[in-house]
Chain A
Amino acid sequence: MNLERLPNEEKLSLCRKYYLGGFAFLPFLWLVNVVWFFREAFLKPSYTEQLQIKAYVKRSALGLLLWVAVLTTWITIYQHFRAEWGEVGDYLSFTIPLGIP
């Protein structure tokens, strides 16, 4: 899909859909949105829809940062305290490393 060839309304619509989709626990979608539309939103000479696209990209970036923060915190907590949590830790674990923690 080449963004160059799309008319502006389509770009806006696509950006919007990606933005809305990200709310379904899909930070990756927001990441894709930001990276893909970055040039469109910030580095291109302005056109009518650009303002809205910019807004969507910014909000996606915000949401992405939030998710990254939450996930990093959780992963750190998990990795650090997994052994100490005993049963709960094992229950949460998908793979349990061998050996002594």
Chain B
Amino acid sequence: CLRALNGQPPAAPTPRVVEREEEEEDEELTLKYGAKHVIMLFVPVTLCMVVVVATIKSVSFYTQNDGQRLIYTPFPEDTDTVGQRALNSILNATIMITVIIVMTLVLVMLYKYRCYKVIQGWLFLSSLLLLFFFSYIYLKEVFKTYNLAMDYITLAIIIWNFGVVGMMCIHWKGPLRLQQAYLIMISALMALVFIKYLPEWTAWLILAVISVYDLLAVLCPKGPLRILVETAQERNEPIFPALIYSSTMVWLVNMADTDRPNRNSTEAASPQQEPQEVASPVPSSPSQDDGGFTQSWVSQQEHRLGPLQSTEETRREIQQMPSARPPVEEDDEERGVKLGLGDFIFYSMLVGKASATASGDWNTTLACFVAILIGLCLTLLLLAIFKKALPALPISIFFGLVFYFATDNLVRPFMDKLALHQFYI
């Protein structure tokens, strides 16, 4: 889900002409800053994808089929007939999506009934698991791949440092760059887990279905995410900082409240009724919308991604790692755009899967990469136009899938044939 933190002019009574001029100017500014933020989001998304692809290419662990599957995808895909395989993958995808929907509803219920502590604890545990356990496995595989010896003592120190500083940066206070780096790393870790444990057809199906679900959940009036946002708005509070990547630190304007940093930490820590940090008194202010949407979106993502289970129960929780919510800033310079970590994860998963299993290899990978970036551009453009929370998955994933299948099945044989006949175009 994508949220732009645009300061909209407060709803004050001004003469119509002036208002319109202001609006136009604002539009222009928005689009201009929109472009800047597109670029700001390109970098982390690209980085995440690069990390995932690099790992897939070098560490064979993530492409090996150990025969292990997640509980959520119990049907194997190495069956005798194509029909059987198709059926199995559809069933797997259905189970996964159902789990995700259920988790999202649970989250919305928890939020509605103000069980904030539960949600926070959940998020905390997920990030704990992700930062410690998954990075441990990742390091192990990397060392094995490069045939390096490593002793437990050094390893313990490394993992301990990585994990604790990560928890601090994400849930408490830390330098912005480091926080962004950690968010990218955990997204990459999660995407790798997905790539390893989801069989092929299931993975593609899940991507497709999730994009559709995303669209519905965020835009339909009865969608769980929408309900979440509306509830947050009614209560006039930001939703707990979940997995959200923000391009800049944005500060909320609140004349009375001088305690910025506290708020930052409290935001990260608890979705409580904080003194309203809204840029404008209008309840539909972007910042609130943002908060609501992105988080619900994110949590939804979490759910989505979350329910993976082979040995690790809390994958979903992993997703639910809170990121410190950046307060919104007063001047125009630092309006940021926020992108849910789930979006990162799915983009990387698509590109990673493409690089792992495509016969066209780098062609396909690059094509998917470009497709996703184009999709992201378009989504951000729409965001600048509509100024409300939008699902970031559908367009990008749709393009990505189209490009993947097209490149793999059409472009690559074409290129091969050309090369074979030494015919250069």
Instruction: Say whether A66 faces chain B, with CB atoms less than 8 Å apart.
Output: no
Report how many residues on chain A are interfacial, defined by Cβ distance under 8 Å: 31
Distance in Å: Cβ of A39 to nearest Cβ of chain B? 11
Asked if B154 and A71 make an inter-chain contact with CB atoms under 8 angstroms apart, the answer reads yes
Contacting residues, chain A, for B153 (C-beta < 8 A): 74, 92
The interface bits of chain B over 135-153 (1 if a CB of A lies within 8 angstroms of the residue's CB, else 0) are: 0000010011001111111
Instruction: Say whether A75 faces chain B, with CB atoms less than 8 Å apart.
Output: yes
Given known A2-B249, A27-B161, contact A75–B154 (CB-CB < 8 A): yes
Asked if A96 and B149 make an inter-chain contact with CB atoms under 8 angstroms apart, the answer reads yes
Cross-interface CB contact of B174 among A1, A5, A10, A92, cutoff 8 Å = A1
Contacting residues, chain B, for A25 (C-beta < 8 A): 157, 160-161
Q: Is the interface of B mostly helix, strand, loop or mixed?
A: helix
Given known A5-B251, A95-B149, A98-B147, contact A32–B164 (CB-CB < 8 A): no
Contacting residues, chain A, for B9 (C-beta < 8 A): none
Asked if B149 and A82 make an inter-chain contact with CB atoms under 8 angstroms apart, the answer reads yes
Report the nearest B residue to A1, measured CB to CB. B173
**Bound complex: CA A69 to CA B140 (Å):** 24
Asked if A78 and B154 make an inter-chain contact with CB atoms under 8 angstroms apart, the answer reads yes
Instruction: Say whether B362 faces chain A, with CB atoms less than 8 Å apart.
Output: no
Instruction: Say whether B261 faces chain A, with CB atoms less than 8 Å apart.
Output: yes
Contacting residues, chain B, for A35 (C-beta < 8 A): 175
Q: When A and B form their complex, what is the total count of cross-chain residue pairs whose Cβ atoms lie within 8 Å?
A: 84
Instruction: Say whether A93 faces chain B, with CB atoms less than 8 Å apart.
Output: yes
Cross-interface CB contact of A95 among B150, B164, B175, cutoff 8 Å = B150
Instruction: Say whether B178 faces chain A, with CB atoms less than 8 Å apart.
Output: yes
Asked if B165 and A32 make an inter-chain contact with CB atoms under 8 angstroms apart, the answer reads yes
Distance in Å: Cβ of B170 to nearest Cβ of chain A? 11
Instruction: Say whether A45 faces chain B, with CB atoms less than 8 Å apart.
Output: no
Report how many residues on chain B are interfacial, defined by Cβ distance under 8 Å: 32
**Bound complex: CA A97 to CA B174 (Å):** 37
With most chain A CB atoms within 10 A of its CB, the pick from B151, B249, B260 is B151
Contacting residues, chain B, for A7 (C-beta < 8 A): 258
Asked if B173 and A94 make an inter-chain contact with CB atoms under 8 angstroms apart, the answer reads no
Instruction: Say whether A28 faces chain B, with CB atoms less than 8 Å apart.
Output: yes
Distance in Å: Cβ of A45 to nearest Cβ of chain B? 21
Given known A1-B173, A74-B154, A94-B155, contact A10–B149 (CB-CB < 8 A): no
Distance in Å: Cβ of A69 to nearest Cβ of chain B? 14
Contacting residues, chain B, for A1 (C-beta < 8 A): 173-176, 179, 249, 261, 264, 324
Distance in Å: Cβ of B295 to nearest Cβ of chain A? 19
Instruction: Say whether B162 faces chain A, with CB atoms less than 8 Å apart.
Output: yes
**Bound complex: CA A14 to CA B157 (Å):** 23
Given known A2-B176, A26-B160, A27-B161, contact A99–B152 (CB-CB < 8 A): no
Distance in Å: Cβ of B335 to nearest Cβ of chain A? 14
Cross-interface CB contact of B152 among A14, A24, A93, cutoff 8 Å = A93
Contacting residues, chain B, for A21 (C-beta < 8 A): 164, 168
Q: Which of B178-213 contact A (CB under 8 A)?
A: 178-179
Contacting residues, chain A, for B264 (C-beta < 8 A): 1
Asked if B175 and A32 make an inter-chain contact with CB atoms under 8 angstroms apart, the answer reads yes
**Bound complex: CA A10 to CA B150 (Å):** 40
Contacting residues, chain A, for B148 (C-beta < 8 A): 95, 97
Asked if A6 and B144 make an inter-chain contact with CB atoms under 8 angstroms apart, the answer reads no
Asked if A29 and B164 make an inter-chain contact with CB atoms under 8 angstroms apart, the answer reads yes
Contacting residues, chain B, for A48 (C-beta < 8 A): none
**Bound complex: CA A98 to CA B148 (Å):** 9
**Bound complex: CA A29 to CA B161 (Å):** 7
**Bound complex: CA A61 to CA B121 (Å):** 34
Binding site for B on A (CB under 8 A): 1-2, 5-7, 10, 14, 21, 24-29, 32, 35-36, 71, 74-75, 78-79, 82, 92-99
24 A-B pairs, CB-CB below 8 angstroms?
A: A1-B173, A1-B176, A2-B176, A2-B249, A14-B261, A21-B164, A24-B164, A26-B160, A26-B164, A28-B161, A28-B165, A29-B168, A32-B165, A32-B175, A35-B175, A36-B175, A71-B157, A92-B152, A94-B155, A95-B140, A95-B149, A96-B149, A97-B147, A97-B149
Could you list 16 further interchain pairs (A-B, Cβ under 8 angstroms) beyond the known A6-B261, A14-B173, A28-B165? Answer: A1-B261, A1-B324, A2-B176, A5-B249, A6-B260, A24-B164, A29-B161, A29-B164, A29-B165, A32-B165, A78-B151, A82-B151, A92-B152, A93-B151, A95-B144, A95-B148
